[in-house]
Structure 1
């Protein structure tokens, strides 16, 4: 009779679990929960299935209670401990989750997954030891994608660019299209000024559908350094598709359009950059002044060089370019000379040697012109 009872009980459990599995497989979590709760069997297998269905259905507290019940009766169950600790972590019970994974790493020190999970919990707890567990994970499993992302990101943030490059390449060996690691590799090259290599990786990110304002802006800057101005312009314009009120993007486009001789677009983007920036604008005003200078509009150039100097009285380039604009705009020689003298008064000691020398020569030339002009008047 005992054997018959045991067999009947086992059959009932098997039936309940089978029905629950079928319901769970099609996403009917409530049905699976009802089937298991209506079963008179309360074995560990039933409790674990019940916890799994409750977790999927959002009944987190009930799931935690059932995991805890199983752990109390069978603390050696590793997979259950992992699921329980993960659920604890997701609900903010970090100390208890930490305790479980700490115990697991001590019992199984060569298990990379346990170290990674402990790292995640320590990171949530803002514990500085989190990174050491990520590093251990990578040592134990050199292809662990998530851990590689963590340590490579930290290397990039800390300016350890060669390490960031090495770690991201390590992960890309097994997953060549890993978006996060591709991004880290691209940035590592970019900040090392290896722009050709950076472009290759950033372009691949775009091909993989991971284009963004950040990616296109970096591509724009990289192509600028490679002196491919058309591609630089194209990517900065794509960056505007994501955020059309980014001051820096408009400013970069303003400078690039000036370089390729498209002064109308240069003017438009520089004016937009000025409208969008709410702090010191001397660089933007200087660039706009240079754009007008290249268009041979000295009056407009003079206006914006003056604005740049109002923003920053020690903007040497603006002071010097203002003198050149005044030299082109004013007919009066004394007025033209005055602007060069104002430049020298401020920068003769600490300014750029070439600019100082040019200003001095121009003043000398203007003085000679003034002298010759005065002599001509005397003869009349």
Structure 2
């Protein structure tokens, strides 16, 4: 009897060692990317223990076999419903797989059992958000009320505030989150946007610059930073940032227009003209703004003939462009010998915009009309 028992124990140990060897082989296969082979090996093992079901689930999930992974998580939970970490993995895969009602239900049950757990409230919010349920934001607020450093909950609330036009609220909660995790790129992005929307462009620069340091150099971030530099009169930095945008996409007409305006500000008229021309070639109709800007570069060079022709083109594109209408008269003033023709152009501007136009432009037109009439009268 003792001999038989000893033999059974030896046999049992050998089988256990054999299974452990196969499990290690499956782990090795999975680690080197041979996930299908690892799954096939684990599926042959009998009887399947809880650990084998979990290994299968995780490898299947990594292999994109979500339905199979969900079933194996469920196999474990059916036998041991108190395995909280497995329940969380199962719930997150339900979310990932779009099984939102099941995920919502699971995390609601977990939240009832563990009411102080902020993570369960957050995942209920995610499920409801994905279902387009407006109550989702309530759960994100509940999340942060349980854990004021919860990065996911803070991001969702900050984003909600930004979309709702509550920039100052967004700024406050972003700063709260960044105290716990200063390099959270999502919160840095929201913070920069909130500063920009509240016209605090000087403060917007720091979060945008930090995003670049962290490798977040998308067109979106570069554009926001470039605008902040431009508005705060940091012209050279704005130019360099817009150039980086062109390295990503040199067919962005808005970037060429902004670069043209900046080069015009620094009196680099040839560069300004090149970028305005590029914007003109790229941009779809109407392109009156680009013709106007090219005309202004010629005006700056006192090439009034070319300026006049570009202002004319701008008006062909958009007859209601007030600046182009006045600039055409000013260019003619410096180019035409016929003062009566110039007078008519100023009068044409006043006829269209005398009641609704910009006061400074109307003043210029009135002043020149008065002088031209005097000159014409004296020449008689």
Give me the TM-score of the superposition, normalised by structure 2.
0.89
The C-alpha deviation readout for 1:298-348, integer Å capped at 9, x for no partner, is 111111212222233222221111111111110011111111111111122
* 2:238 corresponds to 1:235: no
What are the residue-to-residue correspondences of 1:1-16 with 2, within 5 Å?
A: 16=19
Distance 1:93 1:223 in 2: 45
Residue in structure 2 matching 1:177, options 149, 158, 183: 183
Q: Does structure 1 conserve the Cα–Cα contact (< 8 Å) formed by 2:26 and 2:42?
A: no
Partner of 2:218: 212
Partner of 1:149: 155
Distance 1:24 1:103 in 2: 33
SS of 1:105's equivalent in the other structure is helix
Partner of 2:66: 60
* 2:118 corresponds to 1:112: yes
5+ unaligned residues in a row in structure 2: which ranges?
none
Residue in structure 2 matching 1:268, options 269, 274, 281: 274
What are the residue-to-residue correspondences of 1:275-294 with 2, within 5 Å?
A: 275-294=281-300
Partner of 2:336: 330
1:351–1:42 Cα change, 3 Å? closer
The C-alpha deviation readout for 1:336-367, integer Å capped at 9, x for no partner, is 11111111111222222332233223222212
Q: Does structure 2 conserve the Cα–Cα contact (< 8 Å) formed by 1:20 and 1:33?
A: no
1:331–1:176 Cα change, 3 Å? same
Partner of 1:189: 195
Distance 2:57 2:12 in 1: 21
* 2:156 corresponds to 1:137: no
Partner of 2:30: 27
Distance 1:111 1:275 in 2: 57
Partner of 2:255: 249
Shift of 1:36: 4.2
Distance 1:55 1:217 in 2: 38
Distance 1:246 1:201 in 2: 24
Residue in structure 1 matching 2:173, options 145, 162, 167: 167
Distance 1:116 1:109 in 2: 12
Distance 1:351 1:140 in 2: 56
* 2:230 corresponds to 1:224: yes
Q: What is the aligned-residue RMSD (CA, Å)? A: 2.7
Q: Does structure 2 conserve the Cα–Cα contact (< 8 Å) formed by 1:16 and 1:36?
A: no
Partner of 2:48: 42
Moved more, 289-298 or 117-126: 117-126
1:218–1:40 Cα change, 3 Å? closer
1:145–1:367 Cα change, 3 Å? same
Q: Does structure 2 conserve the Cα–Cα contact (< 8 Å) formed by 1:236 and 1:253?
A: yes
Q: Does structure 1 conserve the Cα–Cα contact (< 8 Å) formed by 2:29 and 2:38?
A: no
Shift of 1:154: 2.2
What are the residue-to-residue correspondences of 1:286-325 with 2, within 5 Å?
A: 286-325=292-331
Q: Does structure 2 conserve the Cα–Cα contact (< 8 Å) formed by 1:101 and 1:114?
A: yes
Distance 1:326 1:31 in 2: 80
5+ unaligned residues in a row in structure 1: which ranges?
375-380
Distance 1:238 1:348 in 2: 43
Point out 4+ residue stretches in structure 1 off by more than 6 angstroms: 1-11
1:35–1:325 Cα change, 3 Å? closer
Q: Does structure 1 conserve the Cα–Cα contact (< 8 Å) formed by 2:70 and 2:94?
A: yes
Distance 1:347 1:61 in 2: 68
Q: Does structure 2 conserve the Cα–Cα contact (< 8 Å) formed by 1:162 and 1:188?
A: yes
Distance 1:5 1:131 in 2: 60
